[in-house]
Every structure is written in C-alpha cells, then in structure tokens.
Amino acid sequence: MEVINKEGTEDTPKIILNRNDGIFEISGRSLPEDSADFYQPILDWLDKYSGSPNPETVFVFKLEYFNTASSKLILDILSKLETISNTRIHWYFHEDDEDMEEAGTEFSELVEVPFEFKTY
Amino acid sequence: MKYIYELHRTMTTRKLILVYEGEFTQEITKSVLAMAERNMDAIGEDSGIKRKVFNVMVECLQNIVKHSDELQEGGAPVRHGAVFMIGKDDDKYLITSGNPVQNDKVEMLNGKLDHINSLDKEGLKNYYKEVIKSNKGLSEKGGAGLGFIDMARKSGQKLQFDFEPMGNDFSFFSLKTVIRRNVTDSE
C-alpha cells in the first residue's frame, strides 16, 4: 500500500500514513484554503486501509492549531478510524494549551474510539 | 495630504496595530497572520493569548475569503473590498472585520449571532458539537458553519456586530471579537 508522506507548510499539517512502519500521524497547523480537498486523499487512503488493517492502529494527532473547517474533516477521519478494530488515538497537546486538550476531549465524546492524552 | 495624518491619528487613538483593506485571499490571510504573530512575539505575549488571537483571526479572515466573492449586482460580480483590523489595549485585543453582505443575508447572520450570544460557555460547547456532528458536509464555500461559534468560545465574550446600510442591495457587516489579556482566572 502506498505511503503518504506530506511535509507540513505554514497552513497545512505534516501527514505520515505508513502501514509497514505502523506510523499514522497528523501534526502541525491545519488551516488550508480548501479543507475538504486537502483531506480527501487521507480519507481515501483510510478507506483502502480499513479493508485489511494492521492488527493494531495507533493514530497520532499532534496539532498545534486547526481551523473550524479542518475540525469537520478531523471528525470525518475519526469516524473512519471508528470502523477499524484495535484503533487508538494518541491526542497530543502542548502542556499549556487547554483549548487543544478540550478539543481532543470533545472529539473523544463524538466517536467510539479510545483516546489517550499526551503532552509535548 | 491631511487624510494621512487623520488616518495615523485614528489608528493611534483606536490603538490599531494592524489594518488591512482590500482583496482577501489565502495568501493575504497567511501574511496578515504572520505579521500579527511577529508583533505578538516581539512583545513576548503570553502563548495562550497568542493562540486565541491567532484562532479568532483565522476564522475571521477565512470568513471574508469565503464569502466576499458571492457579491453580485445585476448578475455581474462586483469587487467589494473588506477591512480587517487588530487593536491592542493594555487589557485586551480587538479583532475586527468589516465586509459588505447582501441585504437578504442580514437576517440570517443577525439570528445566528444573536443565538450564539445568548449561550453561555456550556451552551456554546453543546452547540458546537451539535453542528459538527450534523451529517452535513462542508458548505459549497468550504465552511463548516462553526466559525462564529468558535470565535465566541475562544473569546469568552459576546461577539459585537452591526449592519450599516450601504444604500444599495448591500449592508456593511462589522464584527468585533474581544480577547482579554492578563486573564488570571482560567475561564
């Protein structure tokens, strides 16, 4: 399966989706001009992956900032992950960033996937 | 040339640290964000306040980028400029935007903002969750319908807004969001 490895920019996050190495990670800033367009390849990749996933999937969100249009797409990603068994979310937030911690808590209440909260 | 002095005076008395008038694009948004970030870094602004200001700025600027192109008069697209400003006082930042909206949008915007202002912290959180999980995708313009709610949540204050008739099919929509500085209690 193809590996997605997108470098982050000032308005888009870094994304790594690599099933062989077991790395699934979105980090940085997300405020793209067109969120739906930006995240579509990620959603497509997850659709394929969900057909025959690894025995365990740990998906890492390490976001510094995301806008509201991205939040909708993050929920779409989480909803896809919900259908993959043995998936856990590692939600990272900067230790003094209560808003990012709260955002993670709210997402965890919207989907049936276990969240672990970690600071960086 | 007096207007230069007047503009300077207005900016000083209103404590405006950044004013942009004109066309709004994603590139302009990024530049304005970078300028504001540098400005806040230079004075050693608290990182929590910085994040909130950044957050409100993004929603505000992207609202203008998404909605400023839908203005038409007699079928022909009309280029209307918009304005974006940041004011900084000892105890707060004021993030302000102004852009023309079609008169038939005024009631909807008014209702939406009044509803948001009627909610407390918990009410806003529930409203946010309600909107994000409603099965609608993003709008045609790529918006999630969450921008104003998020601005109100990050601000912790009521959103201030006004519609000024422009004498045609448009009204000038002004929106002001307050981010308090030196907040000792975590609201």
| Residue A72 maps to a domain | yes
Q: Please check whether residue A62 lies inside any domain of the structure.
A: yes
Considering the domain boundaries, does residue A22 fall inside one?
no
Nearest-by-Cβ selection for B146 from A10, A34, A68: A68
CA of B78: how far to CAs of B99, B167, B171, in Å? Answer: 13, 15, 14
- Please report whether residue A55 resides in a domain: yes
Q: What per-residue confidence (pLDDT) applies to B78?
A: 59
Residues spanned by the domain of A36: 30-96+114-120
Relative to beta strand A115-119, strand A87-93 is parallel
In a domain, A5, yes or no: no
> Residue A110 pLDDT > 80, yes or no?
yes
Amino acid at B6: E
| The predicted structure's pLDDT at residue B2 | 92
Pairwise CB contact (< 8 Å): B142 & A34: yes
Q: Which domains does chain B have, with CATH numbers?
A: 2-180 (3.30.565.10)
- Edge-to-edge, what's the strand order for the sheet holding A87-93? A4-6, A14-18, A23-30, A57-66, A87-93, A115-119
**Regarding beta strands B82-88 and B92-102, do their DSSP bridges make them parallel or antiparallel, or are they unpaired?**
antiparallel
Q: Does A71 touch chain B (CB under 8 A)?
A: yes
Among B25, B64, B130, B132, the strongest candidate for a mutation testing the A interface, having the largest count of A CBs within 10 A, is B132
Selected residues 27-66 of chain A with any CB under 8 Å from a CB in chain B? 31, 33-36, 65
Partner-chain residue, chosen from A34, A96, A99, that has the shortest CB–CB distance to B154 = A99
Domain assignment of residue A14, yes or no: no
Q: Of A92-106, B1-15, B37-51, B170-184, which range is least confident? A: B170-184
- Number of independent structural domains in chain A: 1
Q: Which residues in chain B have their CB less than 8 angstroms from residue A8's CB? A: none
Tell me whether residue A52 is in a domain: yes
What is the C-alpha to C-alpha distance for residues B3 and B9, in angstroms, rounded to an integer? 9
Task: Provide Rg for chain A, Cα atoms.
Answer: 13
Residues A31-80 pLDDT 10s: 999 999 999 999 999 999 999 999 999 999 999 999 999 999 999 999 99
Which residue in A34, A68, A110 is closest to B150 by CB distance? Answer: A68
**Which ipTM was obtained for this model?**
0.92
> Which residues in B lie closer than 8 A to residue A109 (C-beta atoms)?
129
Q: Per the domain annotation, does A16 fall within a domain?
A: no
In this predicted model, what pLDDT tens digit does every residue of B144-154 receive, in sequence order?
A: 789 999 999 99
